Amino acid sequence: MAVTGLILLLAYLLGSIPSGLIIGKLFYNTDIREHGSGNLGGTNTFRTLGVKAGIAVTLADILKGTLAASLPLFFGSGTHMLLAGVFAVIGHMYPIFAGFRGGKAVATSGGILLAYAPLMFVLMLAFFLISLYTTKYVSLSSILTAIATLTYALFTRDPALIAVVAVLATFVVYRHRANIKRIRDKTEPKIKWMSQKK
C-alpha cells in the first residue's frame, strides 16, 4: 500500500509539471496563462508561442503520461499502470506547481496509452491528425478522438482499459465544454499552420 501511495503521488507530481509555463517563460519570456485561452496545454501554446513551442509542450505533456504510467514497472509494483496514469492526468489538469490551473488532459492521456497500448496510441494519433487536418479545430479533434478512443477500447475486452478510457474521455469532453459552446456559436478559432493545399 505504501508503494502504491508513493507511485500515485509521484504520478500526480509528474503530471503537475507545467510544461507550457516552463517553456513559455524560459524560451519566450511569456506566461501563456496571460494569453489566448489562459490554458497551459499544447493548444494555447501553439496559438500563443507558435508551432515549435506547441510541439515541444505537447511532446512534454505526452511524456508525463508515459512516465507516470510506467512508474509501477520501475518500482516493480502491482499498481496498475492505468491508475498511475490517471493520477498524472489529474495533476496535468490541476497542477500543484501552477495554482491548480492546468491543461485539458488530451496529450497526457495519450501518453498513458503510449505506455500501456502503443498501437492504440498510434492509431488514435493518426485519427486526431486526420480530424485536425479536416476540421482545423483542435478542440473538436480532441473530443472526436476521445470518443473514437473509447469506441476502440470497447473492442479490446480489457475492463481496466475500457474504464480508464471512459474516465479520460469524460475529462476531455468536460474540459472542452467552453470550446463546444464556441464551436456552436462559430467563434472557436481554427488553426492556420495546417492549411490544406489548394
Can you tell me the distance from the alpha carbon of 178 to that of 101, in angstroms, rounded to the nearest whole number? Answer: 15
Alpha-carbon gap, residue 74 to 6, rounded angstroms: 12
The confidence score (pLDDT) of residue 1 equals: 73
Q: Give residue-wise pLDDT tens across range 41-89.
A: 888 888 888 889 989 999 999 999 999 999 999 999 999 999 999 999 9
Predicted confidence at residue 69, as pLDDT, reads 97
The per-residue pLDDT for 193 is 66
pLDDT of residue 198: 43
**pLDDT for position 189:** 84
| CB of 178 closer than 8 Å to CB of 119 | no
Indicate if the alpha-carbon torsion angle 171, 173, 174, 179 is positive or negative: positive
Is residue 92 within 8 A of residue 102, CB to CB? The reply is yes
CB-CB contact of 64 with 73 (8 Å): no
Neighbouring C-alpha atoms within 13 Å toward the C-beta of 63: 9
C-alpha cell at 156: 479490446
| Residues in the chain, pLDDT under 50 | 198
Quick check: 116 and 161 in contact, CB under 8 A? yes
